[in-house]
Amino acid sequence: MTLFGDPAIWLPIVFAGLMGLSILIYVILDGFDLGVGVLFPMARENEKDIMIASIGPFWDANETWLVLAIGLLLVAFPTAHGAILTALYLPVAIMLIGLILRGVAFEFRVKAPEEWRRFWNRSFFVGSLMTTLSQGFMLGIYIMGLEYTATSVAFAVLTAACLTLAYAFIGSAWLIHKMADDFQRRAVRWAQRALVGVVVGLGAVSIVTPLVSARVAEKWFSFPELMLLAPLPLMCGALIVLLWMALRALPTPDDRWNWFPFAAAIVLFTLAFFGLAYSFYPYVVLDQLTIYEAASAPESLIIILFGALFVLPMILGYTVLAYTVFRGKAQALTYY
């Protein structure tokens, strides 16, 4: 166990990294299918089925990354897990009910009698919206150090709106890739509008985080660290400009660039995520609890790490297989 130095030091870092990775993958993957749910009412009646068909084979596996992330938090940092989840008790419950409502709607809207269909369509939209709003709200409260004050709640309401728009953005980017013709053109327009929300959100978080925490401000604006962080906002800015131009040009006549907004959205989410992770490290609860204080016993973490290193590549492998099988423009889904 001493091969790489003291496991009590590096194990928490490794697990914080694994957890961060699965949160990031979750936000990207479930982000696009939640986004499609948020955009659902904007689609015309005859487009709704194909919209669902574009995410039907994926949503379940996408959600599993949330289970993994929460599982890693739970197993690697049990104290933080308790502290965070009890502080976020109500928004978590709202998110869970949202996830239930939208998850079952995939099935009920086509299997229940036709008269109920509008109800389940609405449940798909409302459930998705409840999920995105509560996740954004939790992000806000989390950044504010898990405290409920008038300012922190106001900020959380803002992040709730912005994260919803960010999901709508990556959702419409997915639709640009998966849809054709008129529907694709409208998806481009949705993406343009949602991009504005993304910019506001990124700005708000960047302004508020250093204000909440003197430590973060120090980390951001003191000298050598500044150089480390500086590329992040610059890259974000450049990417947003590029995206803006691309969205004005899309769809191209030969539809060659339909993947670009989605790819750019992934990069953007990743950059934003690294910004947050950089500011938070080494804390799991900002300025209160570090990953070292919260970690479980090394011998249990080693067991999990062993399994994770072995299984994660396999999971990535068959995830790629699934996306390959259902590549290309969305088609109606049938069971046979």
Partner 1 sequence: MDTLLLSRIQFGANISFHILFPTITIALGWVLLFFKLRFNATGNMKWMDAYRFWVKVFALSFAMGVVSGITMSFQFGTNWPGFMETVGNVAGPLLAYEVLTAFFLEAVFLGIMLFGWNRVPGWLHTLATFLVAFGTTMSAFWIIVLNSWMHTPAGYEVIDGVVHATDWAAIIFNPSMPYRLTHMLLASGLTVAFLIAGLSAFRMLIGDRSEAVKNQLKVGAMMGALLIPVQILAGDMHGLNTLEHQPAKVAAMEGNWETDEGVPLLLFAIPDQEARENRMEIAIPYGASLILTHELDGEVPGLNDFVTEEGEILHPRVAPVFYGFRVMVGTGMAMLLLSWAAVAMMARKRTAEDGTRVCRGADGIGRPMLYAFVAMTFSGWLATLAGWYVTEIGRQPWLVQGVLQTKDAVAQVPSGMVLSTLIAYLAVYAVLTVTYVLVLFFLARRASKGERMRNFERPRSGAAVIPAE
Among 269, 294, 272, 271, which Cα is nearest to 283's?
A: 294
Q: At its nearest, how many Å lie between partner 1 and the CB of residue 137?
A: 15
Residue number with CB closer to ligand HDD (68 or 94)? 68
Q: Distance between CA 230 and CA 219 in Å, rounded? A: 12
Interacting residues with ligand HDD between 221 and 250 (CB under 6 A): none
Q: At its nearest, how many Å lie between partner 1 and the CB of residue 231?
A: 33
Residue number with CB closer to partner 1 (215 or 329)? 329
Q: Is the distance from CB of 165 to CB of 139 less than 8 angstroms?
A: no
Out of 22, 64, 135, 209, name the contact with ligand HDD by CB under 6 A: 64
Residue number with CB closer to ligand HDD (25 or 216)? 25
Q: Label residue 211 exposed, middle or buried (CB < 10 Å: 0-12, 13-18, 19+).
A: exposed
Interacting residues with ligand HDD between 2 and 61 (CB under 6 A): 60
Q: At its nearest, how many Å lie between ligand HDD and the CB of residue 30?
A: 11
Q: At its nearest, how many Å lie between partner 1 and the CB of residue 116?
A: 8
Interacting residues with ligand HDD between 66 and 95 (CB under 6 A): 67
Using CB under 6 A as the binding rule, whether residue 152 contacts ligand HDD is answered as no
Q: At its nearest, how many Å lie between partner 1 and the CB of residue 42?
A: 16
Q: Distance between CA 246 and CA 131 in Å, rounded? A: 29
For 142, 180, 185, 248, 249, the CA distances from 252, given in Å and listed in that order, are: 41, 11, 10, 10, 7
Residue number with CB closer to partner 1 (70 or 268)? 70
Residue number with CB closer to partner 1 (244 or 259)? 259
Contacted by 333, from partner 1, ligand HDD, none: CB < 5 to 8 Å by type: partner 1
- Dihedral sign for Cα atoms in the order 143, 147, 151, 153: positive
- Could you identify the residue written with the tokens 């640009």? 176
Angle at 328 between CA 25 and CA 62, to 5 degrees: 25
Helix (H, G, I), strand (E, B) or coil at 163: helix
- Could you identify the residue written with the tokens 């008269």? 115
**Which parts of 1-77 fold into alpha helices (H)?**
7-39, 48-55, 59-76
Residue number with CB closer to ligand HDD (96 or 303)? 96
Q: At its nearest, how many Å lie between ligand HDD and the CB of residue 66?
A: 8
Contacted by 300, from partner 1, ligand HDD, none: CB < 5 to 8 Å by type: partner 1
Q: At its nearest, how many Å lie between partner 1 and the CB of residue 51?
A: 9
Residue number with CB closer to partner 1 (28 or 205)? 28
Q: At its nearest, how many Å lie between ligand HDD and the CB of residue 130?
A: 18
Residue number with CB closer to ligand HDD (61 or 271)? 61
Q: Label residue 214 exposed, middle or buried (CB < 10 Å: 0-12, 13-18, 19+).
A: exposed
- Could you identify the residue written with the tokens 């299997």? 111
Altogether, the residues listed in the chain come to a count of 336
- Could you identify the residue written with the tokens 């290193």? 309
Out of 63, 68, 137, 285, name the contact with ligand HDD by CB under 6 A: 63
Contacted by 296, from partner 1, ligand HDD, none: CB < 5 to 8 Å by type: partner 1
Which residues are at the interface with ligand HDD (CB under 6 A)?
Answer: 60, 63-64, 67
